[in-house]
């Protein structure tokens, strides 16, 4: 019976470790992306120019605000 209890204990510990690791990794990535956004104003300006649009500062600020709001809502 002792072997059976050890197997149960190992399986429970493994599942707890996987769940804990998932939540720690998720929290780390959310903080990383919040502190280091994948796109900045210069990249957005270049992207808009490549699409043939003349980017104004107002439009760039508006798009950055929309992207930041989308990240904050999640």
pLDDT in tens, 3-37: 999 999 999 999 999 999 999 999 999 899 888 87
Nearest to 37 by CA among 2, 72, 1: 72
**4/32 same-domain check:** yes
Going by pLDDT thresholds of 50, 70 and 90, the confidence category of residue 74 is low
Residue 65 scores a pLDDT above 70: yes
* pLDDT at 36 (0 to 100): 81
Kindly state whether residues 27 and 43 are assigned to the same domain. no
Q: Are residues 20 and 51 in the same domain?
A: no
Q: Tell me the whole-structure pTM to 2 decimals.
A: 0.56
Structure confidence at residue 12 (pLDDT)? 97
Total count of domains within the chain: 2
**Domain range for residue 23?**
1-36
């Amino acid at each position: 019976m002792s072997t059976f209890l050890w197997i149960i204990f190992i399986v429970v510990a493994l599942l707890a470790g996987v769940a804990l690791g998932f939540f720690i990794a998720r929290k780390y990535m959310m903080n990383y992306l919040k502190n280091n956004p994948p796109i900045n104003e210069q990249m957005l300006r270049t992207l808009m120019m490549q699409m043939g649009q003349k980017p104004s500062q107002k439009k760039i600020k508006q798009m950055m605000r929309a992207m930041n709001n989308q990240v904050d809502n999640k």
